[in-house]
A and B are shown apart, each in its own frame.
Chain A
């Protein structure tokens, strides 16, 4: 209990004193996570919508595969990305290992199935609602996908926020591919792991509270900006 109180106090002082290192780590966490979120959303949302609209031979298998990929252990993904980006790996020449870019790649792989799966579920329900109308209006496949994404944007936002939650709290994969290098790849989660290892629980807790705070603020900001609670208009 004392540790938690100490952690809260330390978090409070770190924030109000504008601790330079905290800001650097927090901003890096946000930059990496939001970059991964944007890239993953650009892949996952059209993919989930396409799977809802299009019938093809291996559709069920593709949906099952995406659902299965949601449960992939991040550490394993981190290891695979590490091997791919290491000097002897196929992408070694790109020299990306232990950079924020490598962390973004790992996060994209982790959260794309999460966003795609939730997006597919939401779009499937909307497609069932819109199916007859869009077919009767003789729409093209592209027009159907665009209409579903536009009108299902609130549900898609939920899918994206689920991906954000998974990414901002991720530690295993980004520790492996980022290396937790001070001023280079250290982010809130890897810093928490480091401070816990060093036995500085108050600082680790403080960083944890900051992480929770960032997650809440980002969620609230996105909800507010997208006006998800305004039901009278769309």
Chain B
């Protein structure tokens, strides 16, 4: 189990301009492996991830990590943010911020370039990469610091099947290596392939949660049952 866990959310509330975006909710992430946050658009998946990562200000409640070290969190956004630099410079950036020695940085960059299949494009401007390549770069850049926890906000949205499979392979290997993954998606197929446990969000609250197999096989609420069948849930 990752040293940072358990992660406890106690009555967490996020409000903006008088509107409740999230909560109040309680949640506990204790297990190793992959947690998938499921839910329709606007259900609060992204806000929950951002709040856990610490980049969304909470208006109430408390988020408690077993060990607080922001440098050991990483986040991959739905629309990958790439720096206006080369692919290699993008990968090196998080390590340069930590003043990691140059030789060590270069070795890590070379390793990740090979791992994501972009060795031939190391000197290409990252802004010229395809959507799938950008997302792989963003994931590698997040993982290059060897985080304990990786938050991913629908990393495969708008990607084709091939790119999705490549990214899922990287994520599977990352989880096996011991990094805790917490990922938002509304792709049920992806949830089935990757999830160890599932958190189903609806209207800013945790509607149902549990081990992936049990939640998928025996949903306890009509809404999750409908969502799993592919019906529209609001």
Contact = CB atoms under 8 A, between A and B. Distances in A.
A137 B151 CA distance: 12
Nearest to A153: B84
A151 B84 contact: yes
B86 A234 contact: yes
Contact of B123 (A132, A138, A233): A233
Contacts of B86: 233-234
Given A137-B97, A234-B125, A132 B81 contact: yes
A6 B143 CA distance: 68
B71 A138 contact: yes
Nearest to A155: B84
B24 interface: no
Q: Which of A126, A232, A234 has the most CB of B within 10 A?
A: A234
Tell which of B71, B73, B89, B97 has the most Cβ of chain A within 10 Å. Answer: B97
Contact of A151 (B74, B77, B85, B128): B85
Interface string B123-155: 111001000000000000000000000000000
B55 A136 contact: yes
Contact of A138 (B70, B93, B124, B128): B70
A137 B94 contact: yes
B211 interface: no
B77 A132 contact: yes
A231 B125 contact: yes
Contact of B55 (A129, A132, A151, A233): A132
Interface of B: 53, 55, 70-71, 73-75, 77, 81, 83-86, 89, 93-94, 97, 123-125, 128
- A-B pairs, top 10 by smallest CB distance, nearest first, are A133-B81, A136-B75, A138-B70, A151-B84, A135-B55, A234-B85, A234-B125, A136-B55, A137-B94, A234-B84
Given A232-B128, A233-B125, 11 more contacts: A132-B55, A132-B77, A133-B83, A135-B55, A136-B53, A136-B75, A136-B77, A137-B94, A137-B97, A138-B73, A232-B124
